[in-house]
């Protein structure tokens, strides 16, 4: 029997769907049309890397409650949103009725190549996948589908929890307060990691208080990008957004870590094979 590559975890596909389905209403309530993490870090990077033009076709993979898809519809693009969790899609449809034919939402596992092929070969100008690849049990079928769905020269923009700084399997965040001789008080915000290079599946939460734990899949940056490079993609844009303000009430929130990016955003394009 052929062994799965070390970064693929297909045995957890059902867990992923069930956990996200159970957490969907909580997620919808907390995320709404974008929480501060999304509005400050995720959306600006995804939006500028996507660089959408009116009339383009956008596929938003793992769209959740559809808030980013709705924001992108404001650019005058046609949007298709897909998600593995049926309840996320129900919530996305309920919140998007005013967009009529400009938006459609479908329940689909982005790692189901056969199902995704029904969306149309080389149909999309751009594909986004916000904060979700670390939630996906498999990444190779995703890369193959994205390559098959994008028009030549089309762009694929994804964000993930930064694999080096915010992949919380044994991640520890700390603030050290030093009182200096000259009376200054210096706070240093730091991240300590002890696991990085080995892909691992673990459990965690996306938003504190969610009903059930979800699966996460840590993959180092080299593994993550090589899966796409092997499909003929090249990277031509990258951002590592950080918060700019401070939240003194919550010292260990990412808002206070101005030197450590919690999100990695990448734009990939398919190289023209010349055929």
| By CB under 6 A, residue 266 contacts ligand SAM | no
| By CB under 6 A, residue 149 contacts ligand SAM | no
Rank residues 63 and 270 by Cβ distance to ligand SAM and give the closer one: 63
Least CB distance from residue 48 to ligand SAM, whole Å? 16
Dist CA 95 CA 164 (whole Å): 35
Measure the N-to-C terminal CA separation of the chain; round to a whole number of Å: 35
- Residue 161 φ then ψ, to 5°: -60, 130
Site string for ligand SAM, 201-220 (x = CB under 6 A): -----x--------------
Site string for ligand SAM, 177-206 (x = CB under 6 A): -----------------------------x
> 238-259 in b/e burial notation, b at 16+ Cβ within 10 A?
ebbbebeeeeeeeeeebbbbee
Pick from 50, 59, 127, 136 the residue near ligand SAM by CB under 6 A.
Answer: 136
Site residue total, ligand SAM (CB under 6 A)? 20
Site string for ligand SAM, 101-130 (x = CB under 6 A): --------xxx------------------x
CB-based contacts of 115, cutoff 8 Å, min separation 6: 108, 109
Dist CA 222 CA 171 (whole Å): 19
- Residue 36 φ then ψ, to 5°: -70, -35
Binding site for ligand SAM (CB under 6 A): 16, 20, 31, 62-64, 68, 83-85, 88, 109-111, 130-132, 135-136, 206
């Amino acid at each position: 029997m052929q062994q799965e590559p070390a970064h693929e975890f297909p045995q957890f596909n059902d867990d992923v769907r069930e956990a996200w389905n159970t957490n969907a209403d909580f997620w919808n309530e907390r995320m709404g049309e974008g929480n501060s993490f999304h509005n400050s870090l995720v959306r600006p990077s995804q939006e500028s890397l996507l660089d959408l033009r009116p009339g383009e076709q956008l596929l938003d993979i793992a769209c959740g409650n559809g808030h980013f898809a709705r924001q992108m519809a404001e650019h005058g693009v046609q949007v298709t949103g897909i998600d593995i969790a049926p309840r996320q899609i129900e919530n996305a449809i309920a919140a998007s009725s005013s967009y009529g034919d400009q938006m459609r939402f479908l329940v689909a596992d982005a790692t189901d190549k056969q199902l995704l092929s029904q969306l149309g070969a080389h149909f999309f100008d751009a594909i986004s996948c916000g904060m979700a690849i670390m939630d996906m049990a498999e990444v190779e079928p995703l890369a193959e589908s994205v390559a098959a769905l994008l028009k030549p020269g089309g762009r694929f923009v994804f964000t993930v929890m930064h694999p080096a700084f915010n992949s919380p399997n044994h991640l520890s965040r700390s603030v050290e307060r030093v009182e200096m001789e000259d009376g200054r008080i210096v706070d240093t915000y730091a991240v300590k990691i002890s696991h990085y290079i080995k892909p691992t599946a673990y459990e965690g939460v996306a938003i504190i208080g969610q009903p059930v734990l979800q699966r996460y899949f840590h993959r180092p940056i080299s593994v993550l990008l090589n899966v796409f490079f092997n499909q003929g993609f090249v990277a031509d844009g990258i951002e590592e957004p950080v918060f700019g303000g401070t939240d003194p009430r919550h010292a260990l929130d990412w808002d206070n870590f101005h030197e450590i990016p919690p999100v990695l955003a990448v734009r990939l394009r398919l190289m023209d094979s010349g055929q």
